[in-house]
């Protein structure tokens, strides 16, 4: 027996039933889930928000300046820092305080000062960027020779440069090399020998590594330009260390020497940073690659032309051997007696006609194909009419 029920009442009962079924699950999930503020008495309490999880943290590659604007801003900030250090150095030198030890850290030519700290910081950042490049280049599938290992050597060289910029250990190295070479300590010649020793060692080892890195970063134009600029600045700095450039006063010489050295450091680290950006964009598929279709088409045309010329050469080699056979056949036909009569002529005429029609048809078909191939292969080439006829004649001979 079917009783009538109100539609609103049935809808209300269904809502109540759904709420009763869903309420225990919600309470259970609320009790079992730990809260950040400690509102639940059961289970462990999380002291940090979910933003602390590893998937929400910054990665090492996030510090690489990917956008061109940010890369330019970072390089300009580095150059601005060099200018600020030199301005402070000039201001300290112009003060009437004499050689106060409390201002030695602001003197750019003083060891362990602000300039040395900034150079060490630059090289430390370059070391991290070299390790980032190594971590990305490690996964390249077409690097069969393992050329990515050069970035480990680059990272080690940059770490040594950071230590040298902060402590000036190159002077101790030059002293040790001069003593091992048999130089007597004391005098200007010994100081010059120390300078030449450490410059020669750095020039051989680091120069070789720089050439190898230039071969590695050749595909990135900004990186190779920055690396070449760094090499030029380091060469000028070495000439200044050897006193091979004219002097213009103590203040000007100190400013020029420190400025060129710091700018060389900035250029070197910028080259590593720009190549790290290039490698990261290449690995993520965001590097724009320009493909010239006309160049590929011209390459195909050149190959087709080379093939035709090669076939022509082979036909020219076979031509002298074929001519005597044709001449002998013509002589035998001309010298044959007339005793065979009309019957022999009638027997030979259909065969000749068939042969002529077959060769004519094949030559006509091949002539059309050759014209199409000529239009496709030599659309950009200027050939004379005699050359085209010669190519068609060779094509008919190959078809026959």
Residues 79-117 have pLDDT tens digits of 999 999 999 988 888 886 656 677 788 888 888 889 999
CA-based end-to-end distance of the chain = 100
CB 254 within 8 A of CB 284: no
pLDDT band at residue 295 under the 50/70/90 scheme: low
d(CA 224, CA 217): 6
Burial class (CB in 10 A: 0-12, 13-18, 19+), 139: exposed
DSSP state of 61: G
d(CA 130, CA 125): 9
Q: What percent of the chain has pLDDT over 90?
A: 33
Q: Residue 308: which of 390, 206, 237 has the closest Cα? A: 390
d(CA 122, CA 117): 9
pLDDT band at residue 314 under the 50/70/90 scheme: low
The tokens describing 389, both together, are: 């006829």
Question: H/E element holding 36?
Answer: none
List of E strands, the chain: none
Q: What is the pLDDT of residue 215?
A: 94
Burial 178-189 (b: 16+ CB within 10 A, else e): beeeebeeeeee
Q: What is the pLDDT of residue 345?
A: 43
How many residues comprise the chain? 400
Q: What is the pLDDT of residue 342?
A: 40
Q: Is the pLDDT of residue 153 over 90?
A: yes
Least confident residue range of 134-143, 214-223, 250-259, 348-357: 348-357
d(CA 365, CA 100): 99
pLDDT band at residue 229 under the 50/70/90 scheme: very high
Q: What is the mean pLDDT of residues 188-195?
A: 83
Q: What is the pLDDT of residues 154-188, one digit of tens each?
A: 999 999 999 999 898 998 898 888 888 887 777 66
Q: What is the pLDDT of residue 202?
A: 93
d(CA 153, CA 118): 22
The more confidently predicted of residues 361 and 238 is 238
d(CA 170, CA 119): 14
Q: Is the pLDDT of residue 267 over 70?
A: yes
Three-state SS at 145: coil
Among 21-25, 144-148, 312-316, name the most confident range: 144-148
Q: Is the pLDDT of residue 307 over 70?
A: no
- Average pLDDT over the chain, rounded to whole? 76
């Amino acid at each position: 027996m079917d009783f009538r029920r109100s539609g609103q009442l049935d809808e209300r009962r269904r809502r109540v039933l759904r709420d009763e079924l869903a309420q225990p699950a919600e309470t259970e999930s609320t009790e079992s889930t730990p809260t950040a503020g400690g509102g639940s008495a059961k289970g462990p309490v999380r002291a940090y928000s979910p933003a602390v999880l590893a998937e929400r943290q910054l990665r090492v590659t996030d510090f690489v300046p990917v956008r061109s604007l940010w890369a330019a801003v970072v390089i300009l900030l580095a150059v601005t820092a060099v200018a600020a250090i030199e301005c402070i150095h000039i201001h300290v030198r112009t003060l009437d305080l004499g050689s106060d030890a409390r201002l030695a850290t602001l003197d750019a030519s003083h060891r362990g000062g602000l300039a040395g700290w900034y150079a060490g910081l630059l090289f430390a950042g370059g070391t991290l960027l070299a390790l980032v490049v190594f971590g990305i280049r490690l996964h390249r599938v077409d690097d069969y020779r393992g050329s990515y290992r050069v970035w480990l050597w680059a990272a080690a060289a940059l770490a040594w440069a950071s230590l040298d910029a902060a402590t000036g250990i190159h002077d101790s190295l030059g002293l040790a090399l001069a003593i091992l070479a048999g130089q007597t300590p004391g005098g200007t010649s010994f100081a010059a020998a120390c300078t030449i020793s450490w410059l020669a060692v750095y020039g051989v080892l680091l120069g070789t590594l720089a050439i190898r890195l230039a071969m590695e970063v050749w595909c990135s134009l900004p990186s190779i330009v920055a690396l070449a600029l760094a090499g030029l600045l380091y060469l000028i700095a070495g000439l200044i260390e050897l006193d091979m450039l004219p002097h213009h006063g103590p203040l000007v010489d100190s400013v020029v020497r420190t400025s060129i050295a710091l700018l060389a450091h900035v250029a070197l680290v910028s080259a590593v940073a720009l190549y790290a950006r290039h490698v990261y964009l290449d690995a993520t598929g965001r590097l724009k690659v320009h493909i010239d279709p006309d160049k590929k088409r011209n390459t195909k045309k050149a190959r087709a032309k080379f093939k035709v010329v090669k076939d022509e050469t082979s036909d020219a080699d076979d031509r002298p051997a074929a001519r005597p056979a044709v001449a002998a056949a013509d002589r035998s036909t001309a010298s044959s007696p007339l005793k065979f009569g009309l019957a022999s002529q009638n027997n030979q005429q259909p065969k000749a006609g068939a042969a002529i029609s077959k060769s004519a048809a094949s030559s006509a078909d091949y002539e059309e194909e050759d014209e199409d191939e000529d239009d496709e292969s030599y659309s950009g080439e200027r050939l004379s009419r005699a050359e085209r006829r010669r190519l068609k004649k060779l094509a008919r001979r190959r078809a026959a």
